[in-house]
Structure 1
């Protein structure tokens, strides 16, 4: 049976998740158009069609889409209801399936273990809310999801990824830990090693998106990778980078006493905390629909291969790390 070549519009598509989705679509032999503001250069292949506009401009900002049709749309840049309301309305009769990339931050009970697709969601944000903050991000996505489902019905697919990891990640949340392990020596590791690290490799998300489009799959899906204890995660990162790094586990009380929290230790979520369920996200529904997960060592290895030549964000500085380790009688060696 010959596979059908699809024409796919990606709203976004030049950075990280969108970039991986575009590359996966091209690898599958599909035709891709991306719609962006066109303000920054991209590294996408030349065969990708570039369309420019601004979703913040409402229907008028989407004029580049007029008179066009696609088999499907993948929305990776819809953060505010007014953006999604405009794109959904414009594309309702112009695309077949509409895939909306949401987030696990939509769940109301984030301490639940595990978190499943049918769990309660946060209250919706008003469609007039335009500021994306830590408090509004989840509620805004809840509203966006509802707009997509109301507009497209069975032609809607909603994907709720966790922290997304892999090459080209601008957030650095996962990358920071792989880089620190790669640096070697003794390093500050949060907790006692029994909390969990669970991310989704961006390339797994991208390949699943292609599967959803090729097989015309509706529904709502959590996208979560293998669930590792932090000890297992550190071991995987050491194997991936060939590092001799040694974790110095620092308990929550000590971290708090030094004023160190999630801003300095990205992606660390205490298992018994208010958001502990975000590192216990069920993925059975997506796996049954075709999600295939990359081995954690491979994710760490490929992320480090990219990050080694790319400037990264600074979270916990070496000086602060050394200060905490010294306070508990250990020096922060650098390998």
Structure 2
């Protein structure tokens, strides 16, 4: 039986990953603070601890070893370094959830080589607390790739969408169009990558069985313009979207990037994973959410 540890498996695509592994008869242990309930009952083991407390995490994990470790909640190089120390010699593969945020905006498809975590300079630890989300993810990757003695894969996801998205980023746009509230969007023609939460979980599951390591882009095939998303919403809602360049913070689009931002997934595809095309699920998701809100 495969032993899997998941740090952060009680929300969104983390829950979907847990369910996939349960269905495959894996022995799953979830590290959770115990704040959010999960539906897994006695099908999983739980370690209730705050992963940012290194001493408490080490005590809770004890001497256990795992075939695969998934880390969905690593946001700082400090946490990454603590994980490297704790799990050294105790796992065959470590998969950390990273982000498309490691990349700059631009009109060219982003390959993994655009940001190289193997050569990224690591700052002094006392500067770690002042990092942005993007810098935090860059340095998380850098610590794992440069210091981990075990195989590591860093999955660079774009914005993840799904009916169960607790951040409600797509919901935001649908609700604003329904209520005829202006949305701040500085670059409506910008094209983005996305991935569905189901496919994010499917990819993580596949990667745990793959030999693939290093930074890996993971997103649906194709890219979509923000104006295309708004057109799909307009068609479903039956109202025109009100788009302005800038709005107050509460009405600024969560997709409000200054330029295009999309990834090339050749590395994962060459290793055998087939991503679905965004046109195969995004219109259906918008239709579902629009009907749910009416």
TM-score, length basis structure 2 = 0.82
The Cα of 1:117 is off from its aligned counterpart by: 0.7
The Cα of 1:127 is off from its aligned counterpart by: 2.8
Q: Which residue of 1 aligns with 2:113?
A: 118
Off by >6 Å, runs of 4+ in structure 1: 184-187, 306-310
Would you say 1:194 and 2:182 are equivalent positions? no
Secondary structure of the equivalent of 1:174?
Answer: helix
Q: Cα distance 1:148–1:190, how it changes in 2: closer, same or farther (>3 A)?
A: closer
Which among 170, 174, 181 is matched to residue 170 of structure 2? 174
Would you say 1:247 and 2:241 are equivalent positions? yes
The Cα of 1:280 is off from its aligned counterpart by: 2.1
Secondary structure of the equivalent of 1:118?
Answer: helix
Distance in 1, Cα, partners of 2:262 & 2:154: 19
Q: Which residue of 2 aligns with 1:128?
A: 126
Q: Cα distance 1:263–1:116, how it changes in 2: closer, same or farther (>3 A)?
A: farther
Kept in 2, the 8 Å contact 1:59–1:87? The answer is no
Which among 272, 275, 283 is matched to residue 265 of structure 2? 283
The Cα of 1:159 is off from its aligned counterpart by: 0.7
Q: Cα distance 1:143–1:20, how it changes in 2: closer, same or farther (>3 A)?
A: same
Distance in 2, Cα, partners of 1:97 & 1:169: 28
Secondary structure of the equivalent of 1:128?
Answer: helix
Would you say 1:204 and 2:199 are equivalent positions? yes
Secondary structure of the equivalent of 2:198?
Answer: helix
Secondary structure of the equivalent of 2:52?
Answer: helix
Which among 250, 255, 260 is matched to residue 267 of structure 1? 255
Root-mean-square deviation (CA, aligned residues, Å) is 3.2
Which among 280, 284, 298 is matched to residue 281 of structure 2? 298
Q: Which residue of 2 aligns with 1:53?
A: 49
Q: Which residue of 1 aligns with 2:8?
A: 12
Q: Which residue of 2 aligns with 1:77?
A: 73
Kept in 2, the 8 Å contact 1:55–1:86? The answer is no
The Cα of 1:237 is off from its aligned counterpart by: 4.1
Kept in 2, the 8 Å contact 1:123–1:142? The answer is no
Matches within 5 A, 1:30-41: 30-41=26-37
Would you say 1:97 and 2:93 are equivalent positions? yes
Q: Which residue of 2 aligns with 1:67?
A: 63
Gaps of 5+ in 1: 311-334
The Cα of 1:48 is off from its aligned counterpart by: 1.5
Q: Cα distance 1:196–1:112, how it changes in 2: closer, same or farther (>3 A)?
A: closer
Q: Cα distance 1:174–1:304, how it changes in 2: closer, same or farther (>3 A)?
A: same
Larger of the two Rg values belongs to structure: 1
Distance in 1, Cα, partners of 2:217 & 2:145: 16
The Cα of 1:145 is off from its aligned counterpart by: 1.1
Which among 217, 235, 252 is matched to residue 222 of structure 1? 217
Distance in 2, Cα, partners of 1:51 & 1:300: 39
Distance in 2, Cα, partners of 1:41 & 1:307: 27
Kept in 1, the 8 Å contact 2:194–2:278? The answer is no
The Cα of 1:302 is off from its aligned counterpart by: 4.3
Secondary structure of the equivalent of 1:25?
Answer: helix
Residue deviations 1:142-195 (CA, integer Å, cap 9, x gap): 2211222234456111111111111332222233124445x3879658468532
84-93 or 115-124, which moves further after superposition?
115-124
How many residues align? The count is 289
Distance in 1, Cα, partners of 2:18 & 2:291: 24
The Cα of 1:297 is off from its aligned counterpart by: 5.7
